[in-house]
Each structure stands twice: as structure tokens, then as C-alpha cells.
Chain A
Amino acid sequence: KQEVTQIPAALSVPEGENLVLNCSFTDSAIYNLQWFRQDPGKGLTSLLLIQSSQREQTSGRLNASLDKSSGRSTLYIAASQPGDSATYLCAVSPSNDYKLSFGAGTTVTVRA
């Protein structure tokens, strides 16, 4: 059974600092990995999707890397802003499959 772990559970940084969020998974036979953002009381918003054949994806200030062999992904958020405060979840799918396995998330607070 795929286990997805996100450490730390919470993170507080001053505005302008770069954020580094970690995700690890136990089974490297994944099809893709996604990073989601969840704001309090809201649903999840997909930020980046990395196919298993890719090493990274970028969108604006966000960059996600994937190392399948070591079972790790990292989400980088450059020059953090208070609006980046949210919970970030990673999720992996085991094959060309619908069953996403989610991590518990990292709750980020960016202090103005």
C-alpha cells in the first residue's frame, strides 16, 4: 500500500523567504505526482502535475521536482508572499489510475 508522507506538518516563514516542501512515497512505481493547495474551508486546487517520466514542472514561482528512484518530490515556492499561506498536499497515482494517495499536507504560514 502506497504511503505518502509530508514533513514538516507545519511551516512558518517571513515574507520573501523561499519555501521548500517535501513529499516522500514508499512505492516508486508511480504514474504521476500532483501538488495541491488547500485554503481553509475550501476544496483542493491542483498546482502542478509531474508525469513519472519527468523530473520537474514549473509554473510561475512554483517548481516541483520528482525523484522516483528515491521516492521523493519537492515543491519550491520562490519569494513567498502572505497569499501563499495555505496547506499544500502531494498526491501520487500508482499507475494510469484514478486512485490518488494523498499526504497529510504541510500547512504554510507566510508572515508579513
Chain B
Amino acid sequence: DAGVIQSPRHEVTEMGQEVTLRCKPISGHNSLFWYRQTMMRGLELLIYFNNNVPIDDSGMPEDRFSAKMPNASFSTLKIQPSEPRDSAVYFCASSLRIGGASVEYFGPGTRLTVL
């Protein structure tokens, strides 16, 4: 398996523009996570999907952020409008949760810079 795939790897945009980050989880995994990593705040969970359903979006910072998972093999994280403070590395991770502990597999991340 190719692992978790994220695109783009780097995104530079101007304040006010819409940004869409994409994620393809590992085939067969039923859980998907979006994280944000910054120097100031470390790794933060933004949203968690289980079987394509959003279970917890309490980490989404503002209404400017939205996430979708239309099927088991694709998810998007959208920021509209983007702001400079959204600059961070955004990670997607997936896992197979069947009760009990499960290991999360992380993608390589998307480095977002909002000017």
C-alpha cells in the first residue's frame, strides 16, 4: 500500500483565498483524522471521521474550516477564506478501529502558507 496520500504537499496562497487540502486514506481503514501542527500549539486534532461520518469536529477552529468525506477513499479539508494564522502543516491520518487500540498512519502533510 502507498500509505496515506495527501495533496498538495505545499500550498502558498494569499489571504482571503479558498484552500482545499486532499487526503486518500489507506485502503480498508475506517477512521480518518485531520491534524494541524504549528510550533506554538504542536499537533492538534481538527476532526475525526469514522466510516465516512464526522464524529467529532470540536477541534475545527472556526466556521472558515470545513471537512468532508464523501467516500471511504477520499477526504477534503477546506479553508475559506484563508488567513495568515492558518499557516501550518496539515496532516491526514487513517486507522482501522475495531474497538481497542489502533495505530494511526500519518500522511506526509501539506505545508500551507497564507500570505
Question: Which A positions have Cβ atoms within 8 angstroms of B?
Answer: 31-32, 34, 36, 41-46, 49, 51, 89, 91, 93, 96, 98-100, 102-105
Closest to B109 in A: A43
* Interface status of B43 (Cβ within 8 A of chain A): yes
Residues of A contacting B4 in the complex (Cβ-Cβ under 8 angstroms): 43
Top 6 closest pairs, chain A to chain B, by CB = A43-B106, A102-B43, A44-B106, A32-B101, A46-B103, A43-B108
Within 8 A of A (CB), among B81-115: 91, 93, 97, 99-101, 103-109, 111
A104, B103: Cβ atoms under 8 Å?
no
Number of interface residues of B (CB under 8 A): 24
Apart from A91-B43, A93-B101, what are 12 other A-B pairs with CB-CB below 8 Å? Answer: A34-B103, A42-B108, A42-B109, A43-B4, A43-B108, A43-B109, A44-B43, A45-B106, A51-B101, A98-B97, A99-B45, A102-B43
Residues of A contacting B107 in the complex (Cβ-Cβ under 8 angstroms): 43
Q: How many residue-residue contacts, CB under 8 A, span A and B? A: 52
Decide: A98 near B43, CB < 8 A? Known: A31-B101, A43-B107, A46-B104: no
* 9 examples of A-B residue contacts, CB within 8 angstroms: A31-B101, A43-B108, A44-B106, A46-B104, A49-B103, A98-B50, A102-B42, A104-B42, A105-B42
Closest to B48 in A: A98
* Interface status of B18 (Cβ within 8 A of chain A): no
A41 CA to B111 CA in the complex, in Å? 9
